[in-house]
């Protein structure tokens, strides 16, 4: 039987540590302009729900870096689709200005790297946010048993 309170706590830690720790600091230090607070809160909600699913169904027993890395890539791609690709589709197909909760990717820069470089850099940061939140959160849970 899975320990659901532990799953909820670990998911919350992944969302808070990953998004408000790793991702927020990366945006603060490297992106211009800084993203909005609703952007981070929405991303925390996605990471929280995704983490519950991941920990409930795919985190079987021991820690697997590869499984966690793949999960980080999946949640990063889901966020990238919602936040970067969906607005382009909405604009091109339906002429709807859809930029949810923040700034469109084309309005951001990561160390001045251009659209592709910025998208790639933030994809890596979003993946590391999940992986880092997973391992740091797991360590914190284990440290306070």
pLDDT digits (tens, 9 = 90+) for 115-128: 888 889 989 999 99
Lowest-confidence segment of 1-15, 72-86, 88-102 by average pLDDT: 88-102
pLDDT at 63: 67
Average pLDDT value for the chain: 87
What burial letters (b/e) apply to 104-124, b meaning 16+ CB within 10 Å? ebeebbbeeeeeeebbebbbe
End-to-end CA distance of the chain: 19
Kindly report whether the peptide bond that precedes residue 38 is cis, defined as omega within 30 degrees of 0. no
Q: How many residues does the chain have?
A: 145
Residue 57 clears pLDDT 80, i.e. is over it: yes
Alpha-carbon distance 42 to 128, whole Å?
Answer: 18
Report field, pTM of the whole predicted structure over 0.85: yes
Residue 84 clears pLDDT 80, i.e. is over it: no
pLDDT at 113: 87
**Predicted confidence band of residue 16 (pLDDT cuts 50, 70, 90):** very high
């Amino acid at each position: 039987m899975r320990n659901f309170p532990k799953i909820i706590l670990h998911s919350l830690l992944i969302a808070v540590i990953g998004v408000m720790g790793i991702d927020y600091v990366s945006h603060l230090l490297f992106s211009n302009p800084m993203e909005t607070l609703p952007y981070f809160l929405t991303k925390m909600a996605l990471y929280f729900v995704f983490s519950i699913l991941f920990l409930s169904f795919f985190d079987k027993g021991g820690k697997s870096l590869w499984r966690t890395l793949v999960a980080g890539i999946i949640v990063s791609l889901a966020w990238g689709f919602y936040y970067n690709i969906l607005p382009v589709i909405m604009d091109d197909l339906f002429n709807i200005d859809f930029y949810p909760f923040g700034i469109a990717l084309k309005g951001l820069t990561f160390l001045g790297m251009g659209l592709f470089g910025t998208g790639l850099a933030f994809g890596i940061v979003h993946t590391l946010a999940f992986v880092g939140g997973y391992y740091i959160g797991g360590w914190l849970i284990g440290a306070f048993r």
